Structure 1
Amino acid sequence: MSSTTPLDPSVGEGEGQLRRVLGVPSLVLFGLVYMVPLTVFTTYGIVTEISGGRLSVSYLVTLAAMLFTARSYARMAAAHPVAGSAYAYSQKAFGAPIGFLAGWSLLLDYLFLPMLNYLVIGIYLNAAIPAIPPWVFVLLSIAVVTVLNIVGIVSVARANMLIIALQAVFIVTFLVLAMVTVSGSGTVDLLAPLTGDGSATGMGPILAGAAILCLSFLGFDAVSTLSEEAKDPRRSVPRAIMIATLVSGVIFFVLSYVGQLVFPSNDFADVDSGSLDVMTTAGGQFLNIFFTAAYVAGATGSAITSQASVARILYAMGRDGILPRHVFGHVSPRFSTPVYAILVVSVISLAALVIDLTLLASVVSFGALVAFSAVNLTVIKHYFVDLRERSGGAVVNNLVLPLIGFGLTVWLWFSLSGLTLVIGLCWLAIGFVWLLGVTRGFSRPTPVLDLEEAPVQPADR
């Protein structure tokens, strides 16, 4: 620490502080790595089949819906540039109990997403190297990601650069090979990915596919959890949220469009891994192997960023006192990271050794969509109700647009499976019971997060 750096008086002796080291490029990379550009191929076959060969159109619909919510996150990040994301925004707008429940729902997404990445890594690497069981890869990836997150957010940003670079090289390679394949296949209908193959017609299948593709965009909100480690967070974080959402959407659209030009069919060998048919058609076994390597790297990057995000949400709630402060509110003086929170996430992620992939994937989006809905409402409460910004275009900015975002996220929420809704509602019930215990039946006030910016140690390198 610099001897001239002001210390947060709320931080106890022996506690470190977060440092402001991240600019807009690093924040955008964080969001892109979290979302994983190659995630377009995860549900490629499924949504292509549902939408009748109009996967790229479904992506456009999903992007439009996500941009409304990303805009709400950006506006609230400018108003409250602190760690805590939807938890902090909902707490400030609607009070501590609602803030806690919003943060609790978001935890369902953030806690399960690292686990999902570890499980996918184990599955793909085991398929490539059958002699090594998947649990070995799961344990190894948990260990590596945990060390990177403990060492510091700068190391995470550097790892993000390498991962994005690898995926960028793959994307360029795929696009080049795909164009060569398409150009050599004779007459090509450039509108086919937009009009479909006729197996499903109307807007219904497109909207059904768009609901599933919402999973591809989970992560743009993660940028807001790094507000206390961002330079000029009131400007950089909102910009990074919007840029990451738009860039990822464009990447998803382009890759899905080109993929459908290469393989304009629903006749997949296995619909769950339909992307492998696309890779084989475009570049043979070479592209298949390259795809596996790049996809696993992307999953590793998503694990790094998702673990970093949930650890900082736990830190915010621990600093608040809603979770045990001595564990979750601790920042390492040596590494300037919430070490104990990171380790707790790692222990929870060990469930990837035994949990079923279908069950795990079915609940990842529930918490995020609840939090998305809450954040859209916080914009209305903060700007339209509390600040009374209602003149002229302010009505559109502060009421109409966030209401559209709220309506779209609620629609996506109710498009989830019944099992997902049951598990998610049970999770919310557990959070409510925990809140009752902490407040002793609301006879005591809910501990609240100090939303004023605490002094944060600047970068020393």
Structure 2
Amino acid sequence: MSLTRTETAQQGAAAASSSSPGLHRQLRLHSVLAFGLAYLAPIIVLGTFGVISEKSHGGIAGSYLIALVAMLLTATSYGRLAREIPVAGSAYSYVRRTLSDHLGFLVGWGSMLDYVFIPMVIWLIGASYLNAQFPAVPNWAWILMFIVSTTALNILGIRVADKANLLLLAVEVLVIALFTIFAIYAVSHHGRSLLSSAPLTGKPFNVLALSAGAATAAYSFLGFDAVTTLTEETVDAKRTIPRAIMLTALVGGGIFIVSTYFIELVHPLIKVVDVDSA
């Protein structure tokens, strides 16, 4: 009789544990990678092209390569921490667990500023592009539309946001791919070679110039660490999250390097009035 009661108590405890509140683990590697790349916003490479090209003396692809190496070191660190501390919260959770609650609190506020800053930049750039195409619609109207749509996606939940990320990412990659193809065509059409060291080294070659370009190019990588916030919604997070972090940095860096290499080849063929809109 006592054995039966013990078994009943154990079953009740197990049921209570299984019914405790928590996030539903439903995301797999492709979804987490898509989230990371969507947060990275690869199309930002077109918005910052002129500035980085000028700083690096035309060696923009080389600057992105240097930035990628630095980001991979950071990604490796995040991957190790995500494996050892598999909880949502990213850097502030890691600092809180390894150092102190107070420092974790400060890092959390710093991270929140980053997460607020990136969407603001994307909204402002998007609004300026759309306003140029549709002058009758003011910038504030486009920004309000972005805020409403982004808020709606977050309210609807991770499953809807996942599908929206995949769709928006596909559009971004398509735009960059078409732009790169048109750049290749333009270079070939003008009888120029597609093989050149200039986009990697700049003219004249200057390590300091490439490094200055890399400092700005690193901005394009902001957000790859955001995948760690999905740890408690990811299947087999200890294995999936570190892989997603590295793949986000690698795929994003690959897109940046390849696209800027060919765009830099076509850059001298076009008269650019404003470096910011190159």
- Give yes or no for TM over 0.5: yes
**Per-residue deviation, 1:51:** 0.8
**Per-residue deviation, 1:102:** 1.4
Which residue pairs with 1:211 in the alignment? 215
Mapped pair 1:192 → 2:204: no
**Per-residue deviation, 1:172:** 2.6
Contact in 2 for aligned 1:55/1:257 (Cα 8 Å): yes
**Per-residue deviation, 1:116:** 2.1
Distance 1:217 1:34, change over 3 A: same
SS in 2 for 1:167: helix
Contact in 1 for aligned 2:75/2:245 (Cα 8 Å): yes
Q: Normalized against structure 1, the TM-score is what? A: 0.55
Amino acid at match of 1:41: L
Which residue pairs with 1:117 in the alignment? 122
Mapped pair 1:82 → 2:126: no
1:226 to 230, 245, 255: 230
Q: Distance in 1 between matches of 2:52 and 2:269?
A: 12
Which residue pairs with 1:35 in the alignment? 40
The structure with the greater share of residues assigned to helix is 2
Which residue pairs with 1:47 in the alignment? 52
Deviation by residue 1:291-320 (Cα, 9 ceiling, x = unmatched): xxxxxxxxxxxxxxxxxxxxxxxxxxxxxx
Which residue pairs with 1:73 in the alignment? 78
Deviation by residue 1:346-375 (Cα, 9 ceiling, x = unmatched): xxxxxxxxxxxxxxxxxxxxxxxxxxxxxx
Which residue pairs with 1:166 in the alignment? 171
Contact in 1 for aligned 2:123/2:143 (Cα 8 Å): yes
**Per-residue deviation, 1:267:** 5.2
Q: Distance in 2 between matches of 1:57 and 1:141?
A: 33
The answer to which structure, 1 or 2, has the higher relative contact order (CA under 8 A, 6+ apart) is 2
Contact in 1 for aligned 2:58/2:203 (Cα 8 Å): yes
Which residue pairs with 2:248 in the alignment? 244
**Per-residue deviation, 1:106:** 1.2
**Per-residue deviation, 1:245:** 0.5
Q: Distance in 2 between matches of 1:173 and 1:111?
A: 30
Q: Normalized against structure 2, the TM-score is what? A: 0.90
Mapped pair 1:7 → 2:19: yes
Deviation by residue 1:45-64 (Cα, 9 ceiling, x = unmatched): 11111111100000000000
**Per-residue deviation, 1:4:** 9.4
Question: How much identity, in percent, do the aligned residues show?
Answer: 44
Which residue pairs with 1:107 in the alignment? 112
Q: Distance in 1 between matches of 2:124 and 2:199?
A: 31
Q: Distance in 2 between matches of 1:155 and 1:92?
A: 32
Contact in 1 for aligned 2:27/2:235 (Cα 8 Å): yes
Amino acid at match of 1:254: V
Contact in 2 for aligned 1:197/1:265 (Cα 8 Å): no
1:285-300 mapped onto 2 (5 Å cutoff): none
Which residue pairs with 1:324 in the alignment? none
Contact in 1 for aligned 2:43/2:173 (Cα 8 Å): no
Contact in 1 for aligned 2:201/2:210 (Cα 8 Å): no
Q: Distance in 1 between matches of 2:16 and 2:265?
A: 60
SS in 2 for 1:264: helix
Deviation by residue 1:201-246 (Cα, 9 ceiling, x = unmatched): 4201111111111110001100001101111110111100000101
Amino acid at match of 2:191: G
1:33-432 mapped onto 2 (5 Å cutoff): 33-188=38-193, 190-198=196-204, 201-264=205-268, 268-274=272-278
Amino acid at match of 1:242: M
Amino acid at match of 1:91: R
Contact in 2 for aligned 1:48/1:266 (Cα 8 Å): no
- RMSD (Å), alpha carbons: 1.8
Structure 1 residue runs without a partner (length 5+): 12-16, 275-461
Structure 2 residue runs without a partner (length 5+): 1-14
Deviation by residue 1:54-101 (Cα, 9 ceiling, x = unmatched): 000000000000000011001111111111100100011102111111
Contact in 2 for aligned 1:53/1:266 (Cα 8 Å): no
Q: Distance in 2 between matches of 1:73 and 1:166?
A: 28
